[in-house]
Chains A and B, each alone.
Chain A
Amino acid sequence: MTLERETDVPAFAATSVGPLIESVDVRKRFGSTVALDGLSLEIAGGEIVAVLGPSGSGKSTLLLCLAGILLPDGGDVRYRGRSLASVPDAVRTRLRRDDFGFVFQFGQLVPELTALDNVSLPLRLAGLRRRDAIDRARAFLGSLGVDDVAESRAGEMSGGQAQRVAVARALVSRPRVIFADEPTGSLDSTNGELVMELLVSTARRQGSSVVLVTHEPQVAAYADREIVVRDGRLAHAAALV
């Protein structure tokens, strides 16, 4: 059973062949702190890109800007050729719901809901009937090897199980882009490897792009290529100064 893409956000229908997401000279400040200092990059459909860099380098801010959660102070972020800043907030919200999936380091599951309800939630929001959403969520949990915790709440699972459920929730509605910020940051290396294998193999099977923010080289090695952010800029550009 596949989820048809009837919920595509019309404002972002494909218009031309080009990068799926691009940032052009993106700048972002928080008070006097410069988080992004003119960063440009392109991500193609189905491409997995790792964003490496030390703490405070601006890599998480970049992810939030690419996902339209933060709007840049300068420059532009375009999704399917259209500027995210040019559309109303409600449209960006629909975009995040229908086209994007998110995996964070921890704490992303709704604690009151079971794993099954957490994973079926994006499908329900996308308009699937409860029965179909539950069936698909259960199958998806099975494919990620965590169907045994389907009826458990986040507090009743191990860190590795909770993160696999979070991966299931991010991917179940076949988003075009997965934004993953330190997805293995709270896990030991064995669980980290398992989560990355599942995240990357499922994303590749579904043709989703992945923006993978990490400071761990072994996690970055799952990507097709890496960019390095340092002081809000690409490291290569910084090295030329």
Chain B
Amino acid sequence: MSFGHALLGLLEEGPQHGYELKHRYDANFPGARPLPFGQVYATLARLHRDGLVDISAVESGAGPDRKLYVITPAGVTDLERWIDEPTPVGLVRSELLSRVVVALISGRSPDAVLDVQRAEHLSRMREVTERRRGADLTGAMACDFELFHLEADVKWIEHSARRLDKERARHAKKEAR
């Protein structure tokens, strides 16, 4: 997740303070962790240094100065390039896969690992399905995103369980000869 590009996207709607940006980020990316204020200001400082945002006004008050940030034309170009390019596809390093492999090579039951994980995944999928009901558009899309990824994991779990069954049957047949 590129926080910088998310903030640029939010700034395209108009000048905003860091405080507003943090809350709008949390509301628009409900699947992500709430953004710490420190990260918002550090990211805005970097974007300012790189010429992607500008400070259009500074309001002084009782507390620290409040800077009003605005996206620059270079920021818009950078945002468009980021949106248009494909997201890198890499092999997900899965702890689940590691657990199954370790269970298998150590003579333990990989089926038990798969069964426990299926239950865990479906429990999470129930929560997300419930949350999707009544969610706004971005919330529903975030829920869909999580559900489709969890579903892929569950399909892998099912496929692996069948693969293990087949392997056991093949082994038993070989032993019987």
**A residues near B, CB below 8 A?**
52, 54, 197, 215-218, 220-224, 226, 228, 230-231, 235-236, 238-239
Contact = CB atoms under 8 A, between A and B. Distances in A.
B135 interface: no
A36 B161 CA distance: 19
User: How large, as a class, is the contact surface on chain B?
Assistant: 20 to 34
A230 B169 CA distance: 14
A217 B162 contact: no
Contacts of B155: 217
Given A54-B162, A222-B129, A217 B112 contact: no
Contacts of B125: 217-218, 220-221
Contacts of B133: 197
30 contacts: A52-B158, A54-B158, A197-B133, A215-B158, A217-B121, A217-B125, A217-B150, A217-B151, A218-B125, A218-B147, A220-B122, A221-B125, A221-B126, A221-B128, A221-B129, A221-B147, A222-B126, A224-B126, A226-B119, A226-B122, A228-B118, A230-B161, A235-B111, A235-B115, A235-B161, A236-B115, A239-B109, A239-B111, A239-B112, A239-B115
A121 B165 CA distance: 45
Contacts of A230: 161, 165
Nearest to B151: A217
B112 to A, nearest CB: 6
Contacts of A223: 126
Nearest to A197: B133
For the complex, would chain B's binding face be called helix, strand, loop or mixed by DSSP majority?
helix
A239 B165 CA distance: 10
A70 B16 CA distance: 66
B68 interface: no
Interface in B84-116: 109, 111-112, 115
Contacts of B118: 228
B120 to A, nearest CB: 12
B154 interface: yes
For the complex, would chain A's binding face be called helix, strand, loop or mixed by DSSP majority?
mixed
A54 B158 CA distance: 8
Nearest to B154: A217
Interface in B111-160: 111-112, 115, 118-119, 121-122, 125-126, 128-129, 133, 147-148, 150-151, 154-155, 158
A216 B150 CA distance: 11
A35 to B, nearest CB: 16
A175 to B, nearest CB: 23
Nearest to B140: A193
Interface string B14-48: 00000000000000000000000000000000000
A217 B128 CA distance: 13
Point out which of A216, A221, A226 has the most chain B C-beta atoms below 10 A from its C-beta: A221
A193 to B, nearest CB: 9
Contacts of B119: 226
A20 B104 CA distance: 40
